[in-house]
Structure 1
Amino acid sequence: MNIGYAIPPERGSPSADLARNVHSFSRATTRPLVTAAKLPYIPLAPDSPESAPNNLMKIKENRTVSSSNNVHVVGPAASRAIVGPQGQHLVPCITAETAGTHRLSAGLVVMPPGTSSQVHHHSHSDIVVMCVQGWAASLIGPELEPRLHGPGEFIYIPAGVLHMAVNLSTTEELVAVESRTDPQFNEDVVVSPEFQAAGEAVAATLRAEFDGDAARAAQKERAAQLPPALAGFDVVGLAERAFVQ
């Protein structure tokens, strides 16, 4: 399986300067927002003549923009790291507690070299994970089918799907950004210890077969096929700078 990875830009390059600027900007805890009181009134095409009045009423009711007080910027340095019941080091950033969210959360997952999570599922939340540093395997379902993903790649796991996170490298840390439809970020984790021994066996095999040099070569090959504007985007550098105090 070919895995694509993003190439970090050289120091002093425009993309590296941009990444530094993005990081510096993101470290601010508050930023003033200019918020319009009303959205432009653009009626949608009704499904039927009979539904037109109801559709227009819904549009009018939702024209007011929320206050800028509801917008929050939260970085890892301002968040409290935890260890979840699935055995992962988590840094919840956007949650109901920190940002007042109702249906969504986001944070960082940090896995030391050669580690795996407990086999688990999220009972009522979908998750999306993007690796920003390191190489991962997600073992999916009771069969523990491996899905490999590296820097710049996203994986979506629906609610209720059994999975196990694996850091494929025995020398490098894995850092990922994760978004969940659980506003508490880690409230609905259900661990399945009966699958753990089989999962660890699969993880050990994958680590033995993992070739970091080949992964980096695949990353460069994949990046060479990207548009020039994306080929030098430094997702790894952004992750590293996020931990600078």
Structure 2
Amino acid sequence: MTDEWHRPLRHIRGTELSGDTGQTSGMTRLEAISGRTVGSAKLWMGRTHVGPGTSSGDHHHGDTETAIYVVSGRPVFVFADGEAEVRIEAEPGDYVFVPPFVPHREENPGADEAVVVIARSSQEAVVVNLPSLWPPT
């Protein structure tokens, strides 16, 4: 029997991430930390790749909060503020917060792959893919 003070830490190598998680067109999500992989109760964490000159489909993450850390590339995070399209141009070292239920997409206008690390306030990869809400640029 294991008590709260003696549970093991879990080590997931970058080469062990699973693509068997919620996906959106135009990007690849890889799951590292989740209820399924390590038994987490309140956290999902993984990595997303968006190829050069690619745009993801529109989507949101339900009632979860999402934190994003840009590892490489220069991804653009696009969402609507009323009728206006808002574009957050990010670079390595930047962080982006996505509130619950906010439709958005990731774009990568650059010549290099964009890679971000994602953490969500859920033990599952909540992904709700949407029909295109506004035309990509």
Q: Same fold (TM over 0.5)?
A: yes
1:115 matched to 2:54: yes
Matched letter for residue 180 of structure 1: R
Residue matched to 1:192: 130
Q: Is the 8 A contact 1:144 1:163 kept in 2?
A: no
Q: Is the 8 A contact 2:23 2:29 kept in 1?
A: no
Shift of residue 82 of structure 1? 4.3
Shift of residue 104 of structure 1? 0.6
Q: Is the 8 A contact 2:60 2:100 kept in 1?
A: yes
Between the aligned partners of 1:162 and 1:98, the Cα distance in structure 2 is 27
**Equivalences for residues 68-83 of structure 1 within 5 A:** 68-69=7-8, 71-82=9-20
Matched length? 132
User: Paired residue for 2:44, among 105, 116, 125?
Assistant: 105
Q: Is the 8 A contact 2:58 2:103 kept in 1?
A: yes
Q: Is the 8 A contact 1:76 1:91 kept in 2?
A: no
Structure 2 residue ranges without an equivalent (≥5): none
**What SS does the corresponding residue of 1:77 show, helix, strand or coil?**
helix
Matched letter for residue 105 of structure 1: W
Matched letter for residue 130 of structure 1: Y
Between the aligned partners of 2:59 and 2:108, the Cα distance in structure 1 is 16
**Structure with more strand by fraction:** 2
1:178 matched to 2:129: no
Q: Is the 8 A contact 2:59 2:105 kept in 1?
A: yes
TM-score (norm 2): 0.86
What RMSD in Å do the two structures reach over aligned CA positions?
Answer: 1.8
**What SS does the corresponding residue of 2:53 show, helix, strand or coil?**
coil
Query: CA distance change for structure 1 residues 135 and 181 in 2, over 3 Å: closer, same or farther?
Result: same
**Equivalences for residues 230-245 of structure 1 within 5 A:** none
**Equivalences for residues 83-232 of structure 1 within 5 A:** 84-87=22-25, 88-141=27-80, 143-169=84-110, 171-184=111-124, 186=125, 188-195=126-133, 198=135, 200=136, 202=137
Shift of residue 111 of structure 1? 1.0
* Higher Rg of the two aligned structures: 1
Residue matched to 1:30: none
Between the aligned partners of 1:111 and 1:164, the Cα distance in structure 2 is 11
Matched letter for residue 108 of structure 1: R
**What SS does the corresponding residue of 2:55 show, helix, strand or coil?**
coil
Between the aligned partners of 1:113 and 1:84, the Cα distance in structure 2 is 21
- The percentage of aligned residue pairs carrying the same residue is 22
TM-score (norm 1): 0.50
